Amino acid sequence: MKFLKVMVISLALVVPHFSSVAGDAVENLKFSGDLRLRYEYQDKDEKMNRGRARFRLRFNVKTKIDDNWSLGFRLASGSDNDPTSTNQSMDDNFSEKSVWIDRAYAVYKQGDFTFTGGKMANPFVTTDIIWDSDINPEGAAEQWSFGKVGYVTLAQMLLNENGSSSDAYLVAVQGGLKFEMVSFNLAYYSFNKYVENAPASRGNLFENGTEYTLIDFLVKVHATDNISFWGQYVTNSDANKTNTTGDKEDTAIGIGFSYHYEDWKLKVKYADIQPNAVVGAFADSDFGFGNRKGYKVAVERKLRKKVALAVAFLDTKQSTDDEKEAKTIQFDLKFKF
């Protein structure tokens, strides 16, 4: 009987607290999302030209639990479990389309320290040379900010749990310094047991014991409020000479330019990504993953506050031998809500 009394008293004290927390969480719910309608036409060597009507739908939910904790998730469209795309092609005779869990995460923030766990937005300062913009890694990330001067980010990401052999995982650290017009970002990515668990080569040459330990140096320059540049150099220190070319094929370089004037945006990118410079399965899918070089030009015009029209053109080919050229043009109508 005494134990029962203790339980009742404890519940009487605790339940109102949790009810209050739950009430605050519901009250703090925030919803947002976006819809993109796209027509894409591709002209590829050795393949039939292809035109596709596609859409991307994403729906975000966020809430603040208390002064330190917040939660969120995002649902997204997509035709398969490819981590580099949430596009859904309009096909299959009007069939229903899939919805996937794109993000599911918790965030703890205390002063200049932030912890994020779950399936999260990419925690690294990066470009799509290494990480496609649709990649949402899974695991944990810790970040320390030093005012507006700089930051350090640690990450422990799970790639594949393997019941018959060692698991594949990523350990990474990135640091950066920020100044008024320029920032410097240096990252170290160690992909462990990746090759034997790789979902697809995506341009990589898995030959002679090559693994993936990347060193990434990224510089961003904000010349004016409307003009910015970036330059990136990536090398894979665990690449070995390949049977295919006789070289390590371990380097990627990229440069970019963006211009923003009133309702117009212009972005230009050039990249040369050798076959073993980055993990191809996580690189920019529109560009062609790894072992690609070429350029992308994108123009966007805002039509309304949350409506925009965009056109992008990509011209790429294999980095190693200038073959398998691909030209892609994309027309996008974008909505935010």
**Residues pairing with 177 in the sheet:** 150, 184
How many beta carbons lie within 10 A of that of residue 262, not counting itself?
Answer: 8
Question: With 50 as the cut, is the pLDDT of residue 31 above it?
Answer: yes
Can you read off the two tokens belonging to residue 198? 């790789």
Question: With 90 as the cut, is the pLDDT of residue 2 above it?
Answer: no
Residue 325: which pLDDT band, with cuts at 50, 70 and 90?
very high
Decide if 55 is inside a domain.
yes
CATH number at residue 276: 2.40.160.10
Question: With 80 as the cut, is the pLDDT of residue 227 above it?
Answer: yes
Residue 4: which pLDDT band, with cuts at 50, 70 and 90?
very low
Decide if 1 is inside a domain.
no
Question: With 90 as the cut, is the pLDDT of residue 212 above it?
Answer: yes
Decide if 11 is inside a domain.
no
Asked if residues 66 and 28 have their Cβ atoms less than 8 Å apart, the reply is no
Q: Which of 7-21, 71-85, 297-311 has the lowest mean pLDDT?
A: 7-21
User: What would the mean pLDDT of 283-310 be, rounded to a whole number?
Assistant: 98
- Do the strands 292-304 and 251-261 form a parallel or antiparallel pair, or are they unpaired? unpaired
Residue 146 structural domain? 32-336
**Residues pairing with 224 in the sheet:** none
Asked if residues 317 and 295 have their Cβ atoms less than 8 Å apart, the reply is no
Decide if 204 is inside a domain.
yes
Q: Check residue 9 and give its pLDDT.
A: 58
Q: Check residue 195 and give its pLDDT.
A: 94
User: What would the mean pLDDT of 177-187 be, rounded to a whole number?
Assistant: 97
Decide if 178 is inside a domain.
yes
Q: What percent of the chain has pLDDT over 90?
A: 85
Decide if 192 is inside a domain.
yes
Residue 214: which pLDDT band, with cuts at 50, 70 and 90?
very high
Residue 3: which pLDDT band, with cuts at 50, 70 and 90?
very low
pTM score: 0.91
The CB-side HSE value for 18 (13 A sphere, CA atoms) comes to 6
Asked if residues 154 and 137 have their Cβ atoms less than 8 Å apart, the reply is no
Distance CA 220, CA 197 (A): 34
Q: Check residue 18 and give its pLDDT.
A: 47
Decide if 52 is inside a domain.
yes
Residues 6+ apart with CB under 8 A from 102: 58, 74, 75, 76, 86, 119, 136
Decide if 20 is inside a domain.
no
Widest pairwise Cα distance in the chain: 82
User: What would the mean pLDDT of 69-93 be, rounded to a whole number?
Assistant: 95
Q: How many domains does the chain have?
A: 1
